[in-house]
Amino acid sequence: MRFWKNGLPILIKNGFLKMTALKTWISASRLRTLPLSTSGALVGSSYAYFLGFFDGFIFILITLTTLSFQILSNLANDYGDGIRGTDNPSRIGPERAIQSGAVSPKQMRLAIILNAFISTGLVIALIWLSFGVEHLVKSIIFLLLGGLSIWAAISYTIGNTAYGYRALGDLMVFLFFGLLSVFGTFFLFSKQIDIRLLLPASAVGFLSTAVLNLNNMRDLKSDKNSQKYTLAGYMGRKNSKVYHFALILSAIILMIVFQLIMSFSNLMLFSWVAFAPLLFHLKIVYGIKNPKRFDPHLKLVALSTFVMSLLFASVLVIEQLRQFL
């Protein structure tokens, strides 16, 4: 089998990159979702640093792996919703790559396969760097978790058992963006579990789920027409708003409780700055009747979650550095 022709990869000659503008693939990767995906890794990494467990190379690989998972999920979501017809002119959100015709289903499948290989390579490298050959059982467990993460990224909208069409998206986002991201990151550094992390891990999970809930409230009508069943679809817009309030307020409370029981210095109050736009957001969401107005709030909640995690991480790093000054 030939992989090169006239000095260029056949993949390119077949039109995978040659016929599709780079900006189309950047758009399909949905860059605005990437900061949110790293929030759990920031919380877990900074807590590990605070307790004296940290490795810069592991942190870089964790970040790259997390971003790769998110891009894989975005591409798979574009493909799954595209071929099912869920992404159609009646949908309110940004036009997707397959929906617009800029990328064919065949090209998107190839991109998903390529990204799955990249994600797998990053998982293997991360596990090798974290555990080496000394912790075989831990390595196997994390290989399974990595494989499960890749499956979850692809299976959200792809396949006959796509869980995003069976009202399981909220649960999976909470588990993978919250619990697995924070606990998994911390374990890769420390080789141990700290149950106190359940509080910030749940907070990040709730806020990530809130972003998905906003997306589903925005797409209630088009999802129903496409037979895409979401938790918001079952609850209706009114109850989905109550659910949304519960997610965000619970996240804020959990972060505050964690910071209080850990007896951090007053510097941690700076991380509470990120709560202000979230509370302002709730006030606006309460009065929204036109589903189009939900769309800009996806970015607001996602960025607020990232800023909260970044500020939390920054304070923990400063706290640790102060001990050496």
Tell me which long-range contacts 48-56 makes (C-beta under 8 A, separation of at least 24). 48/185, 48/186, 48/189, 48/190, 49/316, 49/317, 49/320, 50/316, 50/317, 50/319, 50/320, 51/190, 51/194, 52/320, 53/186, 53/189, 53/190, 54/189, 55/129, 55/189
Residue 6 has a pLDDT of 41
The residue written with tokens 């965000």 in the block is 248
Residue 24 has a pLDDT of 82
Residue 26 has a pLDDT of 85
Whole-structure pTM value: 0.90
Residue 75 has a pLDDT of 93
Gap between the Cα atoms of 249 and 286, Å rounded = 14
Q: Compute mean pLDDT per 10 residues along the chain, 325 residues long, and list them.
A: 43 49 82 92 96 95 96 92 79 79 90 96 97 89 96 92 92 97 97 97 98 94 88 94 97 96 88 94 93 92 96 92 73
Gap between the Cα atoms of 44 and 309, Å rounded = 10
Rounded to the nearest 5°, which phi and psi values hold at 8? -125, 150
What number of other Cβ atoms are within 10 A of residue 260's Cβ? 10
Residue 216 has a pLDDT of 94
